[in-house]
Amino acid sequence: MKSCNDDGGTPKSTAIPTVGTAKISNPIKFGRFVDDEEDAVLVNISRKKVEGNAKTKKKPTHIYFEPAGPREKIYYDPSKTKCAVVTCGGLCPGLNDVIRAIVMAAHHEYRVPSVLGIQYGLAGFVPEQGYDVIELTPDFVSRIHEFGGTVLGSSRGPQDPEVIVDALERMNVSILFMIGGDGTMRAASKVVEEIEKRGLSISVVGLPKTIDNDINYVSPSFGFDTSVETAAMAIRGAHVEATGAPWGVGLVKVMGRDAGFIAAQSALSCQEVNFCLVPEDPFDIDGENGLLAALDARMKRRGNAVIVVAEGAGQDMLEESGKKDASGNVKLSDIAALLKREIVAHFKAQNIDISLKYIDPSYIIRSVPANANDRIYCSFLGIHAVHAGMSGRTGLVISRWNGRYVHIPMDLVTKGKKRINTCSNYWRAVLESTGQPVSMKNT
Amino acid sequence: MKSCNDDGGTPKSTAIPTVGTAKISNPIKFGRFVDDEEDAVLVNISRKKVEGNAKTKKKPTHIYFEPAGPREKIYYDPSKTKCAVVTCGGLCPGLNDVIRAIVMAAHHEYRVPSVLGIQYGLAGFVPEQGYDVIELTPDFVSRIHEFGGTVLGSSRGPQDPEVIVDALERMNVSILFMIGGDGTMRAASKVVEEIEKRGLSISVVGLPKTIDNDINYVSPSFGFDTSVETAAMAIRGAHVEATGAPWGVGLVKVMGRDAGFIAAQSALSCQEVNFCLVPEDPFDIDGENGLLAALDARMKRRGNAVIVVAEGAGQDMLEESGKKDASGNVKLSDIAALLKREIVAHFKAQNIDISLKYIDPSYIIRSVPANANDRIYCSFLGIHAVHAGMSGRTGLVISRWNGRYVHIPMDLVTKGKKRINTCSNYWRAVLESTGQPVSMKNT
Amino acid sequence: MKSCNDDGGTPKSTAIPTVGTAKISNPIKFGRFVDDEEDAVLVNISRKKVEGNAKTKKKPTHIYFEPAGPREKIYYDPSKTKCAVVTCGGLCPGLNDVIRAIVMAAHHEYRVPSVLGIQYGLAGFVPEQGYDVIELTPDFVSRIHEFGGTVLGSSRGPQDPEVIVDALERMNVSILFMIGGDGTMRAASKVVEEIEKRGLSISVVGLPKTIDNDINYVSPSFGFDTSVETAAMAIRGAHVEATGAPWGVGLVKVMGRDAGFIAAQSALSCQEVNFCLVPEDPFDIDGENGLLAALDARMKRRGNAVIVVAEGAGQDMLEESGKKDASGNVKLSDIAALLKREIVAHFKAQNIDISLKYIDPSYIIRSVPANANDRIYCSFLGIHAVHAGMSGRTGLVISRWNGRYVHIPMDLVTKGKKRINTCSNYWRAVLESTGQPVSMKNT
Amino acid sequence: MKSCNDDGGTPKSTAIPTVGTAKISNPIKFGRFVDDEEDAVLVNISRKKVEGNAKTKKKPTHIYFEPAGPREKIYYDPSKTKCAVVTCGGLCPGLNDVIRAIVMAAHHEYRVPSVLGIQYGLAGFVPEQGYDVIELTPDFVSRIHEFGGTVLGSSRGPQDPEVIVDALERMNVSILFMIGGDGTMRAASKVVEEIEKRGLSISVVGLPKTIDNDINYVSPSFGFDTSVETAAMAIRGAHVEATGAPWGVGLVKVMGRDAGFIAAQSALSCQEVNFCLVPEDPFDIDGENGLLAALDARMKRRGNAVIVVAEGAGQDMLEESGKKDASGNVKLSDIAALLKREIVAHFKAQNIDISLKYIDPSYIIRSVPANANDRIYCSFLGIHAVHAGMSGRTGLVISRWNGRYVHIPMDLVTKGKKRINTCSNYWRAVLESTGQPVSMKNT
C-alpha cells in the first residue's frame, strides 16, 4: 500500500494484520487527551498460541489489535469537521444508542459543528431517492435511545460507491460512520477505495451490526444481549403453551441465517428448551437418530416439548428458493413450516393430536430498545468511532475483543462469518441444558 | 346433613332474572361472616332505564344481580367438603391466580380439607384418558401465580355430562369450580342439569374466561388487561419496524374471533396504530372507500403505517374453511395472510416495494403471567367463587359488574356474546386515535 | 337554575346534585357529534338505594351524574378557542398521557388552533416567577406518554385566583384544564368564582389526580393501577430480602397520607405481605394485641415477615411535627422509622438480631410511565375534558364512576376524602391475604 | 509446594501464579469428556506485557489461568460423591441460578446422587444454630432461578473452620461449593487449610459473589449486569422527579463500599446523570471546586440535576462510626444524608427552596431475579464449579477472564479489591457522560 506521505495526508486504511496505526502526515496536537497506555491488544490469548509450538520451537507470531480510544494528536480540525452517520440493513437493538453516542461525542468531546444523519441507509446518498439529510443535534438525539429501531430509518442493499462519495464531497463530509452488517462493511471498503482513488481526506469508520452475532472479531455484536433477553420471553411463552395442553409442543423460530447464536444463547438462558436447532449442526428429521425420533421419545416421556429453531437451520433439507433479498442474502426456505408439518403428521400417524403452538418473535426482538448492557456497549462503540475518525483513521471498524475496545481492519471482519463451534464447551453446555441428543443426524 | 334424596337440600340454580338466591333448606350458621349490607346490584344504571319511559309512564323493571361475598349461613359442612377445580379452553393470563385463590380461600377461610385439581380440562374427568387428579394444597399453589398458563393444563372440547358427574360422585366432590369460556359454561349448565336429575348436592360455580373479553355481563374478563399490555408491546415493535424502513408497514394480528376488544383496546393504549380492524366493523379491501385506498393515502402522506387486525375481522371476504376446532369454534380463515398479499400487490402494481413486517404475538399474549391488576381481580373471583359454592349456590358464575363482584346466572352469560358497539364513544375514540376513516365499506 | 342570558353567556358551574347540565345561551350546532343516548348515570346502585326503604315506603331520591362525551352543540367556536393545561402537586403516572390526550383532542376533534402549557403548576401563572408558557402542538406531545412525570413540570401550593384569572385573560384562554389533587380542585373552584365575578366566558375543567386514590367519586384515580404495579415490585424485593436471611423482616413504606389504598391493593397483588398497616385501621405497637406481639408470633412460627405500611398509618402514635408542606398538607411523622426502631429493639431484648431491610419506593412509584390500562384511562379523561370544555361546561371534573365516564361537580369531589372501609369485603380480603389479626388495637 | 503423592491423594490448592493444575494421584478415566484444547488463558494481554520491555530486552513472564471446563479424568467417583452448597453474605441477583446450575450439572453430567443445601450461610454448619440441611434435587431447583435471592438463605460472618470441616466430615461431603464475597473466600481458604491439615479428600470450590463488582480477576461479577439494569430504573425515576419540579434535584444512593462500579456503570447507561460520586474519586463539598459549586452552576444553568452516589463515596468527610457489621465490614457513615443536608442548606442560604428527592433502591437491586445475561453467566459458573470439583481441584474459584471461564487460585482473588481506575477511558467516559468536572477536589 502506498505511503501516506505522497498523497497529501489522506487517511489510510488500517494496516493488516499488525496493529493498525495509519500514519497521518499533519496531525494536530489536540492536547485534550493523553494516549492510553495500552499499546495493543493480543488477539489470541491461549497459551499454545502465545508460547508457540514447544516441539518445533517455532516462535509464535503475535497478532494484536490497536486499542480504541482518544488520541493525543488528531487529524481533522474539529471546528471545520462535518460528520455523517448512516444505518443500513435490518433493525437491531442499540442503533439509536450508537447514533446518539456519535453525535454526543462529536459535539461534546470535539466541538464538531455538524453531524448529518443520512436517511434510509445507503439509499439516502442517492439524490434520486429524494430523502432529506437530517441535522443531528445533541438536542435531537437526547432521548432517542429510549426507543427501538433507528431514527434515521434503514434500507437494504448496496449503492454505487461513486454516488456515495459524490454525496460526501457535495456535503463536505470529513468522517462517515457506517453502521451495518457485513454487506455494509463491504460497501464501506469500496467507499474507502473510491475515496483513496480520488485522493480525498475522508475517513470511513464502520460499526458492525448483526443481530445474528456472526461477525468475525466482534464478540458479541451490539444488541445481541437485548435480543436474547427478548427471545427468552417468547420461549417462556412457548413453554407455558407446551405444558398447558395435552401433547403440547412449543415451536419458536428466531433469527440466525448462518449462525445460531440467538437460538443457542436463549436456550441457555431459558432452561425449558428441549431442542435447539442451529445451522451449524445439521440434523435429519426422519430416521432413527432424527429429530422426530428424539421428539417422539421426549413427548412420550414428558408429555410436552419446546423447540427453538434458528431460521437458517436445516436448510439442506429444503428446496432452495433461489431468490435473494435486497441485501443479497439468499432467501431462506421456511424451516419452521417444514417442522410444523412433519411433527404434526408424525404424531397424527399414531392417532395423537398434538397441540403445536408456533411463535415467531423476530420483529419484536429486533425492535425493542437496548437493555442497560447494550446501551453502555453502544455508547462506547459510538464514542470510540468518533475518536478513531478524528484521529484520521479510516477503513476500520470498532469492536470489543477480549474485553477491550479495539480497531479492527475492515477487511478482517468481512472475511467470513463467525459460527458456533459445535465442538466447544459452549455448544456442549447447550446440549446439556436441552438434553437433546449430541447429534440428530443419521450417519 | 340431610340426605339429598328428597331434593329439599339440593342447591338450586340461581334464579333469573331477579337476584339469584337459591333456596337452601338447612343452612349451617357459620358465624364467621356477616352478610354484606349491599343487597343487590342494579344491572342497568342509565337514567332512562332507572326512571322508565317518561312519556308512557310505564314503570321500569329493575334487574339486579346478587352481590358476591361470604354468607352468614353456609350449606356445606366445611370439614366434610371436597372441592375440585378444572381449567378449560385456551390459555389466558390469570388462570393460576384464580386456581390459587380458590385453594387459599377454601383452606384458609373455610378449612376445607381437600381441593382437587382436574388435569387437562374436561378430559381430566374421563377415566380412559388416564390423567391423575392433583391434590391442590396451599403449599403447592403458593407461587403458581408467578407463572403464566395453568398448572392444571387445559384442553378444548366438551365431554359427556354423565361421565363428569360420575367422576364427581366417585371423587365425592361437593363443589366444582369450572374455569372456561362460553363452551365451558354451556357444559357447566349441562353438568348442573345432570346433578339436579340425580338429586345430588353438588354445587357448580363458573368462572368465565375469555381472552377476547366477549362474555356478556363480564366486564372486562380476567386477563384482558394483561393481554392488552402485552399486545401493546408487539404493536410498539410494529411501529418501530414500520418507521425503520422506506414504505414500512407493520401488521399485527391479535386475538378476537367475534369481538375486537383486544385490537381496539391496544390501539387505544398505543397511539401509533393507524388502522384497527375488528369483526364488528366490516370493511372492504378494494374500492374507493376500502382499506387499500385509505392505506394508500396514509402511506403517501406519511411513509409508513401500523395495522392491527383482530383474527376474526373481515371473515366475510374469505372463503369459509368449514372446519371447527375441538371447542366447536369455526376455524377462521387467515385475514392477515389476505391483507399481506393484497397490500403488497397493491403497491407492487405502482412499482413500490413496501417493507411489510407481520407480527403474530398471540401465544406470547396468552401465556404471560397476570399483571397486578388482573392478579387482584382473579383473586377476588376465586375467593367469591368459594363463598358462592360454600353457601350452596349453583349454576352461577362470578363476575364484576358496575365495579361490584356479583353472582350471575350461568344461562345469562352464555346467551350471546359481547361485541364492540361501533356507535359508541368507545369505538369513536378508537377511530379518533387511529385516524382511520369512519367506515371502510363501499356502500 | 339561573338562565345564562343575563350574565353574558358565562358558562355555569355544573349543578349539584342532580345531573350537571349548565345551560348555554348561544350554543353552536357543531354537527360532528350526536349526543350519546346515555342520559345520566345512577350514582348509588345497590337495591336498597334504588328501591328506597320498603318499610317507610319513602320514595328514593335518585342521584345521577351526567355522562361525559361529545355534545351535539358546543359553546365555543373552535377556530377562536385557546386552551391551557396546568399540572399541579406531586407526580403521578399518567400526567403526560392526560396532557397528550387534551392536546390531541383539541387539535384533531375540534381543530382548536392553540393549546398552551403552563409550566410548574399554578406558579406558572405568576408573572414574577418568570416561567415561559409552552405551545403544546400535536408534534410536541406525540411521544411524551412514553415518559414518566409531566413535561410541564409541577409545583405545590395555591396562588391568588385573581392573578390566575388575570393570566387567563391576558393569554386569551377560553378553557383551562387543571390537573391536580383536592387542593388544586379547591383552587379551581376559586378560579371559577373569580371568572363568574368578572363575567368572563372561561371554562375550567378539573382532572382529579391523586396517587393515594383518595378522591371522592373517582374510582380509582388515574395512575393508581400503575402505582400498585410498581409498589408490588418493591414488595417482592422485601419478600426476597426477608426470606434471604435468618430472622428477616422486609419493611416497605408506600404513599397513603389518609387512605391506605396503595398499601392494601399492593398487598392483595403480592401474596407475600404479612402485615398491611393503613391510616384507616389504627393499631398499637405494644400490648398483647399490638403489632409487635403479632409480629413476634409470626417470626417465631415462620422466621420472616413482610410489612407494608402507608406513610399516614399510625400517626396517632407519633408526635405531630406541626409543619405543613407547600400544598398545605400536614407533614407526617415518620412511621417507618418508629417501626424500625421498635421492631429491632423488641427482638434485641430477646437477644435476637433480626435482619430488617427497609425499602421506600415512593419516588420510583410516582415517576414511572403509565401502564396500558392507565394510558387508556388517561386518554379518555383528557378527551372527555375537552368535550366538556368545548360544550361550555365549567366547574366540573371528569371521572369514571360505575364504569362510565361522567361529569362531577367540582365541589363534590373536594367535600371529604375517600377512605378504605374497614368493614368491607375489600379490607377483609386484605386481612385474609396477609393473615394479620383483624385488629391490632388493645381495647 | 508439596507433591500430592505423599498425602494420600488429597486434592491440592491450585498453584499460583502459573496455571493451577493440582496433581491428582488416582484419577478416574471418566471418558465422558475430552479435555478442551485451550490449554491456558493469558492474564495480561496488552502488547507491553506480552512482548516485554523492548529497551531492557527483559523477557516477559507470561502468567496464565487454567481454563475451566470438564476434564477427561476425574478424581471423585461420581456414584459415591456428595456435594454441598452454601450461600454467604448479602443478596445478589443470580444466586439461585448458580445453585441451580451446580445441582443440575452434578446430577445430569456426573449422576452424583446427592447435593446438600446448607441454610443461612456458614451459620448453617453450626449444629447449635439448628438449621436443617436441604436435599437439593433437580426437581427442587428447577424453577428457583425465576426468583430473586437465594433459596438457601444467607447470613453474614465467619464461623470456626474446624466446626465447618467437622460438619463436612459428619455429612460425608466430598465437594463444597462456597458462594460469597471476599470474606467468604478467606473463610474458604481456612477451610481448605483445615482439610489439608486433617488429610481429607474434600474439595472446596469458590464462586465469588459481589454486587459491588470489586473482586480481583473477576470481570464483571455475576449479578452486576442485572444490578445496573435495576439501578438504571431508579435513576430514571430520579430524573423524572428532578425535571418535574422547579429546582428539582434527584439523589440516588447505590451500593459500592469501596468501588463505585454500579454508580459508574448505571450513570453510563442512563444518560441523565449529572454527578456520579464514587469512593475512588474523592471530592470536596465546599470550596470553589467542590460539589456544591458545580451543582450550583448546573442548577442555575439547567434548573435540575441528578446525582448518583455510591454508598462508600466521600467517607473521608464523615466521622467514622467505628462499628462493623457481622461480615467485618466497617459500617459506612451516611454520605447521602450529608449530601441532602448540605445541598438543601446551600440553596436555602440563597433563598431557594429546592425540591430534593432521595431514592435508595439498594434492596430492590439486590433482590431481583437475574436477567438473561447473568442467568447464562451464572449457569456457566455453576457448571464449571462442578467440573473443577469433580476433577479434584480445590482452593480455587471460578471466574471469567478475558472472556473465558477460568480457574483462579483462591488466594489471588482475596489479595486486594478491584477499583475503578480514575485515569482510564472508562472513567473518562463517565465524566463525559455526566458532564461533571474532572475533579471536585480543592487542591
Q: Is D352 on the interface with C (CB under 8 A)?
A: no
Contact B380 C429 (CB under 8 A): yes
Is residue B441 in a domain?
Answer: no
Residues C122 and C12 in one domain: yes
Confidence grade of residue A5 (pLDDT, cut at 50, 70, 90)? very low
Check residue A3 and give its pLDDT.
33
Nearest to D100 by CA among A96, B236, A73, A432: A432
Each residue's pLDDT tens digit, D354-380: 999 999 999 999 999 999 999 999 999
Task: Please check whether residues D207 and D113 belong to one and the same domain.
Answer: yes
Q: What does the pLDDT average to over C28-33?
A: 58
Evaluated on CA atoms C85, C91, C94, C97, the torsion sign reads: positive
Rounded to a whole number, what is the distance in Å from the CA of D146 to chain B's nearest CA? 9
Q: Are B280 and B420 in contact (CB under 8 A)?
A: yes
Give B116-141 pLDDT, tens digit per residue.
999 999 999 999 999 999 999 999 99
Three cell numbers, residue C324: 405543613
With CA atoms as reference, the chain D residue closest to B143 would be D147
Which chains pack against D, by 3+ Cβ pairs within 8 A?
A, B, C
Lowest-confidence pick of C67-81, C274-288, D152-166:
C67-81
* C-chain residues near A143 (CB < 8 A): 147
pLDDT at D222: 97
pLDDT score recorded for residue C29: 60
Q: Do C228 and C217 have their domain in common?
A: no
CA-based nearest distance C210→chain D, Å: 16
The answer to whether position C441 is within a domain reads: no
Chain B interface, best mutation among C50, C365, C424, C426, by max B CB count within 10 A: C50
CATH number (domain holding residue B331): 3.40.50.460
Same domain, A144 and A233: no
Judge if A175 and A77 occupy the same domain.
yes
Subunits with 3+ Cβ pairs within 8 Å of C are A, B, D
More confident residue, D326 or A264: A264
Please report, for the domain that includes residue D162, its CATH number. 3.40.50.450
pLDDT at A133: 97
DSSP class of D103? H
- The reported pLDDT for the residue numbered C439 is 94
pLDDT in tens, A140-179: 999 999 999 999 999 998 999 999 999 999 999 999 999 9
Alpha-carbon distance of C397 to C381, in angstroms, equals 9
CA of D372, closest CA in chain C: separation in Å? 18
Name the residue of chain B whose CA is nearest to D143's CA. Answer: B147
Does D102 lie at the interface with A, CB-CB under 8 angstroms?
no
Task: Find the closest chain D residue to C147 by CA distance.
Answer: D240
- What is the pLDDT, as a whole number, of residue C50? 78
CB-based contacts of C57, cutoff 8 Å, min separation 6: none
Q: Is the pLDDT of residue C34 over 70?
A: no
Same domain, yes or no: C203 and C260: no
Q: Range with the lowest mean pLDDT among A84-93, D189-198, D326-335?
A: D326-335
The predicted pLDDT at position B402 comes to 86
Cα angle D440-D441-D443, degrees, rounded to a multiple of 5: 140
| Residues of the domain holding A339 | 224-367+422-434
Model confidence at C435, pLDDT cuts 50, 70, 90, reads very high
Give the pLDDT confidence of C344-382 residue by residue, as tens digits: 999 999 999 999 999 999 999 999 999 999 999 999 999
Q: E strands of B280-388, at which residues?
A: 304-310, 355-359
Q: Across the interface, do D69 and A402 touch by the CB < 8 Å criterion?
A: no
Return mean pLDDT, chain A: 89
d(CA C260, CA C101): 29
Residues B242, B294 contacting (CB under 8 angstroms)? no
Interface residue D298 vs chain A (CB under 8 A): no
pLDDT over 80 (residue D339) = yes
Does residue A165 form part of some domain?
yes
Q: Is C126 part of a structural domain of the chain?
A: yes
Q: Which residues of D touch B146 (CB under 8 A)?
A: 146-147
Contact call for A363 and B358, based on CB within 8 A: yes
C64 CB within 8 Å of a chain B CB: yes
Give the pLDDT mean for C173-202.
95
Look at the block and give the residue holding cell 459445535: A422
Q: Is residue A439 part of a domain?
A: no
Peptide bond into A17 cis (omega under 30): yes
Binding-site sequence positions of D: 90, 156-157, 181-184, 210-212, 255-257, 311, 363-366
Measure D117 CA to nearest chain C CA, in Å: 14
How long, in residues, is chain B? 443
B356, pLDDT greater than 70: yes
Of A147, A236, A241, the CB nearest to B240: A147
Residues 144 through 163 of chain B touching chain A, CB cutoff 8 Å: 147-150, 153-155
Q: What radius of gyration do chain C's Cα atoms show?
A: 24
Average pLDDT over residues C147-168: 96
The pLDDT of residue D145 is above 50 = yes
Q: Hey, CA dihedral for A348, A350, A353, A355, is it positive or negative?
A: negative
Lowest mean per-residue pLDDT among A40-49, A343-352, B49-58, C148-157: B49-58
Which tens digit of pLDDT belongs to each residue from B196-217? 999 999 999 999 999 999 998 8
In whole angstroms, what is the distance from residue B290 CA to residue A126 CA? Answer: 34
A234 in contact with chain B, both atoms CB, cutoff 8 A: yes
Residue B324 has pLDDT above 90, yes or no: no
- Flag whether pLDDT at B5 surpasses 60: no
Q: Rounded mean pLDDT of A78-89?
A: 96
Q: Give me the half-sphere count of Cα atoms (radius 13 Å) on the Cβ side of residue A99.
A: 37
| Local confidence band at D443 (pLDDT 50, 70, 90 cut-offs) | confident
Residues of B in contact with D143 (CB under 8 A): 147
Whether chain B has a CB inside 8 Å of the CB on A359: the answer is: yes
Q: Which of D131, D237, D244 lies nearest to residue C368, judging by beta carbons?
A: D237
- Beta strand A203-208 with A175-180: parallel, antiparallel or unpaired? parallel
Q: Is the pLDDT of residue B304 over 60?
A: yes
pLDDT-derived band at B24 (thresholds 50, 70, 90) equals very low
Q: Are the beta carbons of B200 and B10 closer than 8 angstroms?
A: yes
- Compute the distance between CA of residue C420 and CA of residue C281 in angstroms, rounded to an integer: 9
List, in sequence order, every residue forming a beta bridge with B42; answer none if it has no partner: B64
Per-residue pLDDT at B23 exceeds 70: no
Could you tell me the pLDDT band of residue C13, with boundaries at 50, 70 and 90? very low
Those residues whose C-beta lies under 8 Å from the C-beta of residue D72, and which sit 6 or more positions away, are: D29, D30, D31, D33, D34, D35
Residue C440 inside a domain? The answer is no
The answer on whether C365 is annotated among ligand-binding residues is yes
Confidence category of residue A336, pLDDT binned at 50, 70, 90: very high
The reply to whether C439 falls in a domain is no
Question: Can you give the pLDDT at residue D14?
Answer: 43
Catalytic residues of B: 212
User: How sure is the predictor about A304, in pLDDT bands with cuts at 50, 70 and 90?
Assistant: very high
C71 labelled ligand-binding: no
CB–CB of B128/B98 below 8 Å? no
Mean pLDDT computed over D260-266: 97
The better pLDDT of the pair B74, C52 is held by: B74
Cβ atoms within 10 Å of C140's Cβ, excluding its own:
16
A158 and A281 in a single domain? The answer is: no
Q: Is C325 a catalytic residue?
A: no
Tell whether the model's pLDDT for residue B109 goes beyond 80.
yes
Indicate if the pLDDT at residue D23 is higher than 80.
no
Q: What's the pLDDT score for residue B61?
A: 76
Collapsed DSSP state (helix, strand, coil) of residue A46: strand
B363 marked ligand binding residue: yes
Rounded to whole angstroms, how far apart are CA atoms A387 and A280?
A: 37
Interface subset of A 407-426, CB within 8 angstroms of D: 424-425
Is A32 annotated to bind ligand? no
Confidence of residue B271 (pLDDT cuts 50, 70, 90): confident
What DSSP letter does each residue of A91-156 carry, written as one string?
--TTHHHHHHHHHHIIIIIT--SEEEEE-SGGGGG-GGG-PPEEE--HHHHTTGGGSSS-TT----
Q: C interface mutation test: which of B19, B35, B46, B63 has the most C CBs within 10 A?
A: B46
Q: Is B303 annotated as a binding residue?
A: no
D415: three-class secondary structure by DSSP: coil
Task: Please give the C-alpha separations between residue D22 and each of D5, D192, D412, in angstroms, as whole numbers.
Answer: 11, 14, 16
pLDDT digits (tens, 9 = 90+) for C284-329: 999 999 999 999 999 999 999 999 999 999 998 887 666 777 777 7
How many separate domains does chain D show?
A: 2
Asked if the model's pLDDT at residue D18 lies above 50, the reply is no
Is A365 within any annotated ligand binding site?
yes
Residue C212 in marked binding region? yes
Q: Are residues C379 and C359 in the same domain?
A: no
**How far apart, in whole angstroms, are the C-alpha atoms of residue A265 and residue D394?**
30
pLDDT (0 to 100) of residue C23: 35
Q: How far is A228 from chain C (nearest CA, A)?
A: 23
Give the mean model confidence (pLDDT) for residues A256-265.
96
| Averaged confidence pLDDT in chain D | 89
Note whether B50 contacts C62, CB cutoff 8 Å: yes
The mean pLDDT of D154-166, rounded to a whole number, is 96
Among B71-85, B319-333, B398-412, the least confident range: B319-333
Among B40-54, B391-405, D349-363, name the one with the lowest average pLDDT: B40-54
With contact defined as beta carbons under 8 Å apart, do B159 and B122 qualify?
A: yes
Tell whether D269 and D300 lie within a shared domain. yes
Q: Are residues A107 and A170 in the same domain?
A: yes
To the nearest whole Å, the CA of D372 is away from the closest chain B CA by 17
> Is B146 in Cβ contact with D147 (below 8 Å)?
yes
Minimal Cα–Cα distance from D421 to chain C, Å? 31
Residue A328 confidence class, pLDDT cut points 50, 70, 90: confident
Neighbouring C-beta atoms of residue B26, cutoff 10 Å: 11
pLDDT at B18: 37
Cell of A192: 474507502
Beta bridge partners of D96: none
B244 contacts on A by Cβ (under 8 Å)? 91, 149-150, 153-154, 367
Q: Average pLDDT, stretch D396-422?
A: 90
In which band, very low, low, confident or very high, does the pLDDT at B34 lie, cut at 50, 70 and 90? low
For residues B114 and B199, membership in a common domain is answered with: yes
A123, A233, A117, A181: which is closest to A417 by C-alpha? A181
* % of chain C at pLDDT higher than 70: 90
A139 contact residues in C (CB cutoff 8 A): none
Catalytic member of D35, D160, D166, D212: D212
Query: Above 90 in pLDDT, residue A110?
Result: yes
Q: Is D96 on the interface with A (CB under 8 A)?
A: no
Give chain C's mean pLDDT.
89
- C376 at B interface, C-beta within 8 A: yes
The verdict on a CB contact (< 8 Å) between A47 and D41 is yes
- Residues C73 and C200 placed together within one structural domain of the fold: yes
pLDDT band at A54 (very low <50, low <70, confident <90, very high): low
pTM for the predicted model, two decimal places: 0.92
Does residue D351 or residue D63 have the better pLDDT?
A: D351
Q: What pLDDT was estimated at residue A416?
A: 83
Q: Which residue of B has its CA nearest to C424?
A: B36
Is the residue at A443 inside a domain?
no
Check residue B144 and give its pLDDT.
Answer: 95
